[in-house]
Amino acid sequence: KNQVEQSPQSLIILEGKNCTLQCNYTVSPFSNLRWYKQDTGRGPVSLTIMTFSENTKSNGRYTATLDADTKQSSLHITASQLSDSASYICVVSEMGGATNKLIFGTGTLLAVQP
């Protein structure tokens, strides 16, 4: 069964600090992996997307890494801001098939405190 697991489930950090979120997946064959940010009451918004051949991708203060051999990814947030408080979801796409099905992790709920 294709799964995406994330850790930790929740995290509280102080404003200005860095943090790293983890994602392990068993999806195969793998097409791409992306990290989404979901603010409360909003839909998920894509932060980064990486294919099999990429091992790092940055978007401002967000840096994602991918190790396709160990099937692990991380999202590093630098110099956190209050607006970073949200749920961060790791999403993996299967390769091939007639549809573009996304497989979601349960997310990490991040709270940035002043």
Task: State the residues that interact with other proteins by CB under 8 A.
Answer: 4, 31-32, 34, 41-46, 49, 89, 93, 97-107
What is the rounded distance in angstroms from the CA atom of residue 50 to the CA atom of residue 27? 14
Least CB distance from residue 114 to other proteins, whole Å? 27
Tokens at 1, concatenated: 């069964």
Q: Is the Cβ of residue 15 or residue 94 nearer to other proteins in the bound state?
A: 94
Beta-bridged to residue 90, according to DSSP, are: 35
For residue 8, is the peptide bond before it cis, meaning its omega torsion is within 30 degrees of 0? Answer: yes
Least CB distance from residue 89 to other proteins, whole Å? 7
Q: Is the Cβ of residue 64 or residue 80 nearer to other proteins in the bound state?
A: 64
